[in-house]
Amino acid sequence: MKDLIDYLEEHVDGKTLATEELIYELENGELQGVYSDQMSFSNLKYNKSSCQWDMFIVSNEKIWEMTAGKPDKLRKDFSSVGLFRFELAKRHSSGKITGSFRFISATGKDVPAYGIVSGIYDVQLEDQVLSLMEDQTLYRDQPIADGKFKTIAFKACHKFYLDQEKLHYHYDGESFDVDTVSLLRKESGDHFPPFVSMEK
């Protein structure tokens, strides 16, 4: 746990990063998402067996309806200022580090992350790379065509690493469609590119 805390304190806490604009497709090309952000990591707190830190994101994300392969009508504007929190602890039973990643608050209306909590597991720190797996509980809303929504959940890998002495944050998420009765998941047809943020 001490190695993890030392890494966060030296390389992550207090850093500001930016994600350059990236484009992704939803609903087999019927919708297009455009995303960019600026994020800061702060408020690191810890003791001998646990730690927490915040991720503050100013995001610009718009979902467009496509016509003839071009963005035509704005379907949803998810742009907001949001606060998320990582909370990790070392388990006496297994010796492993697990925890949660959760939404705290945001500006704007109909923010899809409201009420969302994820489990964090498989925390590894090797060769100055901190990686952890995220598995969202239950489901959240995702816009689809005709003004409707579908239920999805994400499973993702988060990585913090240094490149040319600059902190990088890499988020690679996989989307699943969720049955709201059984809560069973199946692989979604939507595919998102990795989000890579670099220290400014």
Q: What is the pLDDT of residue 104?
A: 94
Predicted confidence (pLDDT) at residue 189 exceeds the cutoff of 90: no
Q: Which residues pair with 152 in a beta bridge?
A: 140, 177
Percent of the chain with pLDDT over 90: 84
- Side chain identity, residue 108: G
Please report the pLDDT score of residue 24 as a whole number: 94
The per-residue pLDDT for 144 is 86
| pLDDT tens-place string over residues 92-116 | 999 999 999 999 999 877 777 788 8
Q: What is the mean pLDDT of residues 30-41?
A: 96
What is the band of 10 on the pLDDT scale with cuts at 50, 70, 90?
very high
How confident is the prediction for the chain on average, in pLDDT?
Answer: 94
Its pTM stands at 0.92
pLDDT at 121 over 90: yes
Query: Can you tell me the distance from the alpha carbon of 141 to that of 151, in angstroms, rounded to the nearest whole number?
Result: 5
Domains present along the chain, CATH in parentheses: 2-189 (2.40.128)
Amino acid at 100: S
Cβ 13 vs Cβ 4: under 8 Å:
no
* pLDDT at residue number 115: 85
| pLDDT score at 153 | 96
pLDDT of residue 82: 93
Question: Looking at residue 146, what is its pLDDT?
Answer: 79
